[in-house]
Amino acid sequence: MSFFESLTKRSKLKAAIKQTTEARGSEGIKADQLFNKVYHDYAEVVADEPLVAEALYNWGFALLHQARTKSGETAANLYQDAIAKFSFCLTIEPAYLGAAIDGGVAYMELARVKAVEANDALYESATSYFKKANAIQAGSASYNLACIYGLRNDKEGCLTALEISKGKGSLPVSADILADPDMAGVKDQDWFIDFMASLNQKPQVPILTSPAVTEAVESAPLTEIVEDASASEETEVAVKDDNAVAEQDAVVDEDAAVNEKAEVAGEAVKS
């Protein structure tokens, strides 16, 4: 960051702090408008700071993994702290893929800790994060979305997300999908079984044809193709006829030779 950019951000930060004080002293709609303006200004101050974004992501990543070693309210607090770090990271760097995916994961795991229903707001927040991840890199969080749809027993949503994940090469291995607790409610359904079966099918190898031959056949009029086929058939018949005549001539020649030998033998006996 240049010296001039640093001064500009410092000035914007001071203005945001002043507006925060004004917002705190206001009420109702006016207060909300001032707070929203302040949040926007703070976001501009911290924007385009890649080192800060990376630090926030890794901070959230550490909190996410620590939360997995805890339970109850302790785990919930750690998940919420991780989500805050991922959210702040995305404010600074909106295209930070890891923060988008892991933010959604943190929301899903927090939902499990709190044992909420699949349509709860926590799962909605996870869905929002995963969709953001897909917007950054297509298909990167499609399997995560499939898990949420699977929990909701949403056949169309789950299958579509699985197909996208498969097409983008982000689908886990079959054993992991079948063991995923989020898929427990759909893994015995026919459409899911058919999808899993499709993962084991080998792609058919197309029959390769010479481009020159293909082009000649495709460009030739149908009458020419028929005439060529007829000519080939006539040639084949002619060859067969010629072979038959040759065989017949050979038989005649052989009979003549036998007769000649017989006549010579007869003359020898007479003499």
Residues 139, 119: Cα–Cα separation, whole Å: 22
Residue 6's pLDDT is 66
Residue 149 has pLDDT above 80, yes or no: yes
For the segment 141-149, the average pLDDT, to the nearest whole number, is 97
Confidence of residue 122 (pLDDT cuts 50, 70, 90): very high
Segments in 68-96 forming alpha helices (H): 72-92
Percentage of residues of the chain with pLDDT beyond 70: 71
Residue-wise pLDDT for 46-90, tens only, equals: 766 778 889 999 999 999 999 999 999 999 999 999 999 999 999
Better-predicted residue by pLDDT, 237 or 99:
99
Better-predicted residue by pLDDT, 222 or 38:
38
Residue 190's pLDDT is 96
Residues 54, 125: Cα–Cα separation, whole Å: 22
Residue 207 has pLDDT above 70, yes or no: no
Residue 140's pLDDT is 97
Residue 9's pLDDT is 73
Contact, 75 vs 116, CB < 8 A? no
Domain ranges of the chain: 3-172, 211-270
Superfamily of domain 3-172: Tetratricopeptide repeat domain (1.25.40.10)
Confidence of residue 211 (pLDDT cuts 50, 70, 90): low
Residues in the chain: 271
DSSP letter, residue 117: -
